[in-house]
Structure 1
Amino acid sequence: MSFISNLRPGGRHGLSSRETRDPIGLAVAAVNRLAQSELIDRVGLRKQAEHAVYSTTRNGFRVATAAGRTFARAGRRTAGARPATAASRGVFDLTPTDDEAMLLDVVRELATEVLRPAASAADEACAPPAEVLAAAQDVGLPVLGVPEELGGIMEERSATAGALVAEALAQGDMGLAVATLAPGAVATAIGLWGTEAQQQTYLPAFTDSSGPGVPAAALTLAEPTVLFDPFELATTALRDDDGFVLDGVKSAVVRGAEAELFVVAAMLDGIPALFLVESGTDGLEVEADPSMGVRAAALSRLHLTGVRVGEDALLGDTDGIAYAECVRLSRLAWCALAVGTGQAVLDYVKGYVNGREAFGEPISHRQSVAFMVADMAIEVQAMRLLTWKAASRATRGQDFAREVGLARQLCTEKGMRIGLDGVQLLGGHGFVKEHPVERWYRDLRAVGVMEGAVLV
């Protein structure tokens, strides 16, 4: 069965519409759409169009964020809700439930049939194709962490399902996985820590299939500082009579040029906190910030200069508990992405060493090669088990700080090693873009330095 047959009926394709956009944002959208058109192949302009997209995102710009939709302050008429924690089964069992297995089958097909073929061009263009984003929306990824009472698709808290989905998507491509999961990270954060008014105001934009489409949204924790510590932020939030004033710079903002809603981390009275900031707010500027890896996520920097938000913009508490959980859930998501990309490297390398011959036999017959592949398989499985265990504890509402710390340390160290060994085993082929291992190696290096962006 093809992936398309599994999509939800009535799904909307394409990015969310806007009534107004800034000139730079309009230009970026225009060249992206041009590069994705089949017409340019017929008229022989493919290379020129790709160069235009690459130059637009690579050279950088710094302009005011685009004016997005007006989020309905009246909101939906249902009461607020929190995702229910799953009950413990009393045994150590990481087997996915029937619902998780069904979801996983669809997501794996999405990764194989949609993400993997589009990955190389998206990495080169530093932007995700509209078709990939639309397919992810049709599957329901943006509302994976939203309670069913508020229009989501899960009855219980879905950290485990989120980790499984992130792992499966990363086997297609980590950059595109981040781009497709970013709106859901914001929706999940609002579902977990938002007030009833915040849930009624913002979640309908993610869950209403009759609306203009899921908004681009970004969870922004990271900052462009050396040895960044997510609990010691340079971005500040100062109280005033009307609410808060935000100042600082955030980095690794997914699809920042077109985002309509940001969750921004800032220090409030010496304690990190989260704030909801709508695009188009005075004092917001976005700047392209292409990276070594995860390039398909269209990363950018967000400059906040005297950005004023109301008291109702505070997401979660002021004592840092919600923020600490946000950091851990984000790190858990990055661990899952590392597992998926590591599995992609392993699968590709196994086929390569079995098919590549030297001196009359496959190179996999040499012990040095066979042992290296075996070590990669062991490390991927260890990463997976630690990540799944942390996710299962989060799903049940138990403390998972230790487990996610262990998983992140292992995924950071072994993930980079798997990427390096993948390049090494391919020899000269590992150094060229004809084979995807060089891209996966670059992506895996992001696991230890990225904060935020995705959430399970």
Structure 2
Amino acid sequence: MPLFSSLRPGGRHGLSSKETRDPIGLAVAAVNRLAQSDLLDRVGLRRQAEQVVYSTTRNGFRVATVAGRTFARAGRRSGGTRPAAAPARGVFDLTPTEDEQMLVDVVTELAEEVLRPAASAADDACAAPAEVLAATREVGLPVLGVPEALGGIMEERSTMAATLVAEALARGDMGLAVASLAPGSVATALALWGTDAQQQTYLPAFTGDDVAVAALCIAEPTVLFDPLAPATSARRDGDEIVLDGVKSGVVRGAEAELFVVAASLDGTPALVLVEAGAAGLEVEADPSMGLRAASLSRLHLRGVRVPADALLGDADGTAYAECVRLSRLAWCALAVGTAQAVLDYTKVYVNEREAFGEPISHRQSVAFMVADMAIELQAMRLLTWKAASRAGRGEDFRREVALARQLCVEKGMRIGLDGVQLLGGHGFVKEHPVERWYRDLRAVGVMEGAVLV
């Protein structure tokens, strides 16, 4: 059966009741509808609004954030609903399940047909096209980490599935993948650590048709930044929390309606929910070497006041530390996907490019370099999947994610560099996407937060 088949009528968004319950059915059906629309034909077209974003990002902007919607506060502070841990298989096997593989196939096709064709223009414009973001919303990315009881599509914790999705999206383009995954990362954080009141207040904005733009803000523009010791301060003042500091690497900051800000509260790192439009909140363009399609910006907080119940998770730093680890795991998955794109492209190039009457892949120096890229990539993938598998089962994955990050930072950049080197002069020009992938892979070692799985 072809992947893009006709949609069945009935249910929410034209889906049957089974598809509404089944995350894979939802994803496949959504992409089916996407394929039948004229969305693919419009990818890469610049709307008037995107031209404004392009101009302001190139020239720089610094404006106060504007609240795009009103979040109606609900309930009282109490423990929220948590996704159930994934069951253990009993054997060491990281092979994706049948459902996970189906999801990967859907997202891989989305990355190839939607993200990759739009990547170059998005990199130049420093903004993700609205058509691409709409396409990723269609497959349910914002609610991938939200349990079914809260309006999501997963019955159990989806760390492994989210890792596979991030990897598959990054094979299309890392910048667009980050722009697409950022809102869902905040929804996942709310599902993992939010109180019942926080979940009732904010999660409906991610589970409906009009998905909120949100950003996870951990990184700061300081030398040797330590995510476990943020310089941004949070102090209690009566029944409020007052925030001061600067956050960097904020994805789509000018559009964001909700921020999850990392700050030091009573000497302990914590996560605080901040709505756009709060007094003292200002966003500034921060164009970068890589991830340009993610529209990175800085967030300035000057005496920003939020209610005391805006604290996300516990006050002892446990949830915060897990957030940092899950974010690093997401960046590992993005590195694996982008490195795979480099390897795939390079293999075709060296087999087709001829010198002295034969393909350059016949040269041992070239063949050995490509082989090393494949070996290092598989090691990156193995460690990343192992960390994701343990995280999904609720087991300690600190060691695994530390090893995965170290390897992905070092070898990911190396694979990108080798790809540029193997293309020679073609690796230096924008005619080929390898130079963009290399710039994106450099981000893995410096970015903290922004996305999580």
TM-score normalised by length of structure 2: 0.90
C-alpha displacement of 1:11: 8.4
Q: Does structure 1 residue 371 correspond to structure 2 residue 368?
A: yes
C-alpha displacement of 1:98: 2.1
Structure 2 distance, partners of 1:2, 1:291, is 37
Contact map agreement 1:247 1:306 (CA 8 A) in 2: yes
Contact map agreement 2:259 2:274 (CA 8 A) in 1: yes
C-alpha displacement of 1:59: 2.0
Contact map agreement 1:65 1:285 (CA 8 A) in 2: yes
Q: Does structure 1 residue 412 correspond to structure 2 residue 422?
A: no
Task: Select 2:354's aligned residue among 333, 353, 357.
Answer: 357
Contact map agreement 2:80 2:193 (CA 8 A) in 1: no
Q: Does structure 1 residue 8 correspond to structure 2 residue 30?
A: yes
Structure 2 distance, partners of 1:50, 1:87, is 44
Structure 2 distance, partners of 1:454, 1:203, is 17
Q: Structure 1 residues 429 and 10 mapped into 2: Cα distance closer, same or farther (>3 Å)?
A: closer
Contact map agreement 2:148 2:154 (CA 8 A) in 1: yes
Aligned letter for 2:316? D
1:237 matched residue in structure 2 = 234
Q: Does structure 1 residue 446 correspond to structure 2 residue 443?
A: yes
Describe the superposition over 1:318-368 as per-residue Cα deviations: whole angstroms up to 9, x where unpaired: 100000000000000000000000000000000000000000000000000
Q: Secondary structure at the match of 1:262?
A: strand
C-alpha displacement of 1:370: 0.1
Instruction: Kindly report which structure 2 residues correspond to 1:208-357, keeping only aligned pairs within 5 A, or say none.
Output: 208-209=208-209, 213-357=210-354
2:190 matched residue in structure 1 = 190
C-alpha displacement of 1:414: 0.2
Structure 1 distance, partners of 2:149, 2:181, is 21
Contact map agreement 1:60 1:287 (CA 8 A) in 2: yes
Contact map agreement 2:230 2:263 (CA 8 A) in 1: yes
2:15 matched residue in structure 1 = none
Q: Secondary structure at the match of 1:447?
A: helix
Contact map agreement 2:219 2:449 (CA 8 A) in 1: yes
Structure 1 distance, partners of 2:32, 2:339, is 35
Q: Secondary structure at the match of 1:103?
A: helix
Q: Secondary structure at the match of 2:351?
A: helix
Aligned letter for 1:444? L
Contact map agreement 1:419 1:444 (CA 8 A) in 2: yes
Describe the superposition over 1:17-57 as per-residue Cα deviations: whole angstroms up to 9, x where unpaired: xxxxxxxxxxxxxxxx99614xx9xxxxxxxx998654420
Instruction: Kindly report which structure 2 residues correspond to 1:31-46, keeping only aligned pairs within 5 A, or say none.
Output: 36-37=46-47
Contact map agreement 2:282 2:299 (CA 8 A) in 1: yes
Aligned letter for 2:356? F
2:138 matched residue in structure 1 = 138
Aligned letter for 2:395? Q
Q: Secondary structure at the match of 1:445?
A: helix
Contact map agreement 1:222 1:450 (CA 8 A) in 2: yes
2:103 matched residue in structure 1 = 103
Describe the superposition over 1:137-159 as per-residue Cα deviations: whole angstroms up to 9, x where unpaired: 11000000001110111111111
Instruction: Kindly report which structure 2 residues correspond to 1:165-184, keeping only aligned pairs within 5 A, or say none.
Output: 165-184=165-184
Aligned letter for 2:46? Q
Instruction: Kindly report which structure 2 residues correspond to 1:424-435, keeping only aligned pairs within 5 A, or say none.
Output: 424-435=421-432
Describe the superposition over 1:103-135 as per-residue Cα deviations: whole angstroms up to 9, x where unpaired: 111111110100000000000000000011111
C-alpha displacement of 1:74: 3.3
Contact map agreement 2:366 2:422 (CA 8 A) in 1: yes
Describe the superposition over 1:287-324 as per-residue Cα deviations: whole angstroms up to 9, x where unpaired: 00010001100000000000000011000011000000
Instruction: Kindly report which structure 2 residues correspond to 1:86-125, keeping only aligned pairs within 5 A, or say none.
Output: 86-125=86-125
C-alpha displacement of 1:229: 0.6
Structure 1 distance, partners of 2:5, 2:56, is 32
2:395 matched residue in structure 1 = 398
Structure 2 distance, partners of 1:198, 1:53, is 31
Q: Which moved more, 1:50-59 or 1:154-163?
A: 50-59
C-alpha displacement of 1:208: 2.2
C-alpha displacement of 1:97: 1.6
Contact map agreement 2:5 2:32 (CA 8 A) in 1: no
1:18 matched residue in structure 2 = none
2:83 matched residue in structure 1 = 83
TM-score normalised by length of structure 1: 0.89
Aligned letter for 1:63? V
Contact map agreement 2:142 2:183 (CA 8 A) in 1: yes
Contact map agreement 1:390 1:400 (CA 8 A) in 2: yes
Aligned letter for 2:228? F
Structure 2 distance, partners of 1:88, 1:235, is 39
Aligned letter for 1:202? Y
Structure 2 distance, partners of 1:223, 1:353, is 40
> What is the root-mean-square deviation in Å for CA atoms of aligned residues?
2.1
C-alpha displacement of 1:73: 1.8
Aligned letter for 2:307? G
C-alpha displacement of 1:7: 4.7
Contact map agreement 2:428 2:435 (CA 8 A) in 1: yes
Aligned letter for 1:8? A
2:13 matched residue in structure 1 = none
Aligned letter for 1:101? Q
Structure 2 distance, partners of 1:359, 1:373, is 20
Structure 1 distance, partners of 2:418, 2:4, is 32
Provide the aligned length of Structure 1 versus Structure 2.
421
Structure 2 distance, partners of 1:100, 1:138, is 18
1:23 matched residue in structure 2 = none
C-alpha displacement of 1:82: 0.1
Q: Structure 1 residues 244 and 51 mapped into 2: Cα distance closer, same or farther (>3 Å)?
A: closer
Question: Structure 2 stretches of 5 or more lacking a match?
Answer: 7-27, 35-42
Contact map agreement 1:80 1:200 (CA 8 A) in 2: no
C-alpha displacement of 1:58: 2.1
